[in-house]
Amino acid sequence: MAEAAVDAPITKLAAALAQREKAGDVVVAPFLTAGDPDMDFTFEALEAAQAAGATLCELGVPYSDPIADGPVIQASYTRALNAGASLEGVFGLASRASAQLSMPLVAMTSYSIIFRRGIDRFAGEAATSGLTGLIVPDLPIEESAALSKACRQSGLALVRLVTPTTPPERAARIASESTGFLYCVSVAGVTGERVSLPQQLKDRVLWLKEQTDVPILVGFGISRPEQVREVGEVADGVIVGSALVRHLEAAGGSGSDARQAVLATIASHVGDLVTAGGSARGSRTGGDGR
């Protein structure tokens, strides 16, 4: 397979990550459900996240049976689907956001949705709509050859996940095959906020950095500035999902005041994490990355 062209979607993602790396800032990657409560709101929330300093955004594609997700994201997906969110709608949102925002977008989607659409067709439509990569939490590496090929052909990143239960040999293989960045899952379990992060997390991230050239972002359980500082000492960035998504319910079915209030909450939460990520720069180890 040929290398991705210069204007391939993954290039936009890599450039945004490299820029933060150069500045020494911790990447803050918010996760937002597409279409909760509606696609227009999600667009405004993406705008707010970019303005607050997010490096990239993960766009959650609503799915009826998300087994990797905790109650907060599951409920958000259910609200979005009940409000009529469709794959067309998600790609439409991605097209609009990628045209108007500089921040790269990565879709988080179940393989059930990709398979039903058709693997090549999905990758092609994702790239056309301006998405820069895919995270497919229910697709282990053994099953991923076809999608991996389709992503290479479409110039999309295929972000892999390693977890605390992944044995070292397997983790090394996953890390080396991940493109765009590597998603390091902080805890064994589903998505959702956690009070504390495991002690061994830093050691794992440092070990993973030796296995791959792509940046490492830590997700699951991250919600607070002090966690960003802690994780930012070793990792390139953090992904924050449930802590933001839990606010979305308040934006549904109410007037514009409530929507504005939720946007402000998301902006200030992302802003706090970005600020914490900036102040972590002095203490970062291995800041030269690769």
Partner 1 sequence: MASSTAVQPPYSRVPDQLGRFGEYGGRYVPETLSAALDELEQAYADAAADPAFQRELDDLLRRFVGRETPLLFANRLTEHVGGAQIYFKREDLSHTGAHKINNTLGQGLLALRMGKRRIIAETGAGQHGVATATACARFGLECVVYMGAEDVRRQAPNVRNMRLMGAEVRPVESGSRTLRDAINDAMRDWMGSVETSHYIIGSVVGPHPFPKIVRDFQSVIGRETVAQCEHDLGRMPEVVVACVGGGSNAAGMFYPFVDIDGVRLVGVEAGGHSASPGSHAASLSHGQPGVLHGSLSYVLQNQDGQTSDVHSVSAGLDYPGVGPEHAYWRDAGRVDYTSVTDAEALDAFDLVARQEGILPALETSHALAWTIREAAKMPPEAVIVVCLSGRGDKDAAEIARLRGFSEDMSHG
Binding region for partner 1 (CB under 8 A): 63-71, 74-75, 78, 81, 86-87, 110-117, 137-140, 142-143, 160-167, 170, 174, 185, 187-190
* Phi and psi, residue 52, nearest 5°: -85, -5
- The partner residues of 133 in beta bridges, in order of sequence, read 106, 157
Helix (H) or strand (E) holding 229: helix 225-232
CA proximity to 63, closest of 115, 105, 104, 103: 115
Q: By C-beta, is 80 or 103 nearer to partner 1?
A: 80
3 is catalytic: no
Q: By C-beta, is 172 or 258 nearer to partner 1?
A: 172
CB 68 to partner 1: min, Å = 4
CB 104 to partner 1: min, Å = 23
Q: Please tell me which residue in 25, 38, 58, 233 is annotated as part of the active site.
A: 58
CB 77 to partner 1: min, Å = 10
What whole-number distance in Å separates Cα of residue 269 and Cα of residue 138? 28
69 is catalytic: yes
CB 96 to partner 1: min, Å = 19
Q: Please tell me which residue in 36, 38, 69, 236 is annotated as part of the active site.
A: 69
Q: By C-beta, is 174 or 245 nearer to partner 1?
A: 174
- The partner residues of 58 in beta bridges, in order of sequence, read 31, 106
SS3 30: strand
Using an 8 Å Cβ cutoff, are 8 and 155 in contact? yes
- The partner residues of 218 in beta bridges, in order of sequence, read 184, 238
Q: By C-beta, is 101 or 126 nearer to partner 1?
A: 126
- The partner residues of 184 in beta bridges, in order of sequence, read 162, 218
Residues acting as catalytic residues: 58, 69
